Structure 1
C-alpha cells in the first residue's frame, strides 16, 4: 500500500466575523496558502481538496487554485461535512494516495463567515429527530455527560492561557503565513481578563444552563491547508516526511449530541490498532465548546496535558470548514518541537452528529 505523508502545513491568521478579514472572500483566503504549499510542485499536484461550509457555493477549491495561479490542469474539489470538512479533506487526500489515485494533493479548508451570502444556517437534521442550534446541542452534551459550568469555565481558561502563551513565545508564528500586513490572529490584538469574563458570562442557550459565550468559540474567518504526498515521491522531491497517515474513522451519533461524535471515532481507531490513549502523544479535538472537550476528555480518559496543548478554537476562533486543517497544522508544527512523539491524533465533531478522527504516525 502507498503511504501518505504530510510534508508542509500552514494556516492564515484567523479573524472574527466582520473583523480584520471581512473583505476576503473564501478563495482569497485560501489562494496564498495554495501558492505557498505548491511552490516548486505546481505541475505535480493532482488535486486541491478544500472544505467549506457557509458558501458562497460553487467549487471554491477550483476557484482558489485558479486564484493562486496553479496550472489549469489542477481541478479542485470542494466538500462539506460541516465543521469536520477541513479534516475530511485531509483524510480523503490521504486515502486517495493510499489507493493509488494520485501522489500529491493540497488539502484543507477555507471559511469566510463575514462574506457568506446565507442569512441562516443549513438544516442539520429532520425535525422528528431534532435539529438544535449548536449551542443548545452543547448544553445537551453537558447534561448527558454531567459536565458542570465550573468544569467548562476551567477548561476555557486553560485554553485561553495556552493560546496566549503560544502566541507570546512565538509558537503560533510557525503555523502562519501572513495575509498582507496581517500576521497574527485577531484575538491577540488585546488581552482580556478571561477569568473575570467567565465569571460574569450568563448562559445564552438555556435558562439555568452552563454554556456561555465565554466558554464557547466565536464565529470566524480563516483558512488552513497541508501538502500531502506519497512518501517515496516526497523523498525524491526533497521533502521531509513529518506526519505519516496511519488510519481514520468517521462515526455518527444522535444529532442532538454532536459534541460527543469524536468519542466513537477515536475509540474505533484505537481498537483497530491495539492502542490506548496512553500511546497517543498529542491530541487535537476542536474546541467548539468547552462542554464538548470536557466530555470527550472524560469519556476517553484523555489528560489535558496532551490535549490541545497550544490552545485552540475557544480563543483563536472556529472558521468552520478550516478548523480541522488548523488542528492538523498545529500537530504538524508541534511534533517538530518535541523529540519523542510516536502517534498523534486529530478529531472533530460536527453538526448533524458526525465525528471524524485521523491518526498519524510521527516520522
Structure 2
C-alpha cells in the first residue's frame, strides 16, 4: 500500500510588514524556497510532477496562479505544472494534504507542496467584493454584518474564561521561545536565508513580557482583550515540502524525514470562526488510533492567543509540547504560506529531538481547520 513521505522541507525567514522581504515579489520568494528544496534533495526540477501552492489573497502580485508563476520564476522547465489553492490560513497545509493524497493515489511520483503570502504587497482582505467577500445571504443566515476573526478571538477568550493577563503571558512566552530557538540554532536547518536581505525571522521582540504587553490598547472592542501584542503579526514568507512515496524514495536513494500519518478537516461556527482546530484534532487522533499523549510536539497556529489556549484546555496537551519554538505571535503569520512554514518547523523539530509523532492544526476563516499527524522516519 502506497504512503506519502516528506523528503525535506524548507522555509524562508518570515519578514515583518513593510520589512526586509517587502521588496521581493511573491513569485520570486516562492522560487527561492523551491530552488533551495531541490538543491537540498538532489531531485531535478524536471522530475516534479506538480507544484501545489497555497495563497489566500490571489490578487495583484499574487494573481494569475502564483504557483505557476513561481515555477517559471525559478527557471524550471515549462513542463512542470503548478496550481494554487485557497483554504484561507490553512492553504499551505491543505497543499500538503492534496499532495499526499496524490502520491498515495499514484498520481504523482514527486510533488512539491507549499505556499506564500506577501502581505506587505498584497494586503489582507484585498480579494473581496468592495471589501466584502461574503454574500449577503450568508451574512443574513448568521445575523451579522460581516465575519471578523478578531471579534471571534474575543468570543473565544470569553467562552474559555481567558483573562488579558493570561493572553499576554502566553504571547510573551511565544517571543521567548522563538528567541531561544534562534539563539540555540534550532531553526538553522529549516531556513533558506535570502542572501543580503534576511537571514532569520524578523518579527521577534526580545524581552517581551506580560507587563509590557499590558500597555497595548484593544484592537477590536473598546473593552476587549485582543491587541496587536497577543495576535499574530502581518508578515511575508514562504515554505515548501517535497513529497513522494517510501517506494520511490528507496528507489532514488532518498531518506525521508517523516510520513504523513493522518489528516483531517473540520468546520464550525463561522462567527466565532477559530474553534475548529479542536474538532479537527479529535478527528485526526481518532483516524490515526492515537491519543493526545502519544504526540510529542504540537504546532497550533497562533492566529490569536486564545486559539492555542482554548485548544490546549480542550485537548489536555502538555504545555512544553505546544509550539515549542514559538509561533506566529512572535514571528508572524504569512497566511497562505503559514501551513508550510509550520510543517517545516514541525518536521525539523521532530528530527532534531527524535519525536515519533507530531501534530499540526490551524484555524481558518469561515470556521474551518486542517489537522495533520506526522510520523518520524
Q: Same fold (TM over 0.5)?
A: yes
Q: 1:54 aligns with which of 53, 57, 65?
A: 57
Partner of 2:365: 351
Contact 2:175 2:208 in 1 (8 A): no
Deviates more, 1:3-12 or 1:30-39: 30-39
**How far apart, CA to CA, are the structure 2 residues paired with 1:186 and 1:117?**
18
TM-score by length of 1: 0.95
TM-score by length of 2: 0.92
Partner of 2:237: 222
Q: 1:183 aligns with which of 199, 205, 208?
A: 199
**Does 2:39 align with 1:27?**
no
**How far apart, CA to CA, are the structure 2 residues paired with 1:139 and 1:277?**
27
Alignment map for 1:1-363 (pairs within 5 Å): 1-39=1-39, 40-41=42-43, 42-56=45-59, 57-116=63-122, 120=126, 122=128, 123=133, 126-128=138-140, 129=142, 130=144, 131-181=146-196, 182-188=198-204, 191-339=206-354, 341-363=355-377
**How far apart, CA to CA, are the structure 2 residues paired with 1:81 and 1:98?**
21
CA RMSD of aligned residues (A): 1.6
Q: Which 5+ residue runs of structure 2 have no aligned equivalent? A: none
Question: Could you give the per-residue CA deviations for residues 131-163 of structure 1, whole angstroms, max 9, x where no partner exists?
Answer: 322111111111222222222112111111100
**How far apart, CA to CA, are the structure 2 residues paired with 1:297 and 1:338?**
22
Report SS of the residue matched to 1:187. coil
- Tell me the matched-pair count: 361
Q: Which 5+ residue runs of structure 1 have no aligned equivalent? A: none
Aligned-pair CA distance for 1:53: 0.9
Aligned-pair CA distance for 1:192: 4.6
Report SS of the residue matched to 2:37. helix
**How far apart, CA to CA, are the structure 1 residues paired with 2:160 and 2:270?**
16
Distance 1:118 1:177, change over 3 A: closer
Report SS of the residue matched to 1:331. helix
Contact 1:124 1:255 in 2 (8 A): no
Distance 1:30 1:345, change over 3 A: same
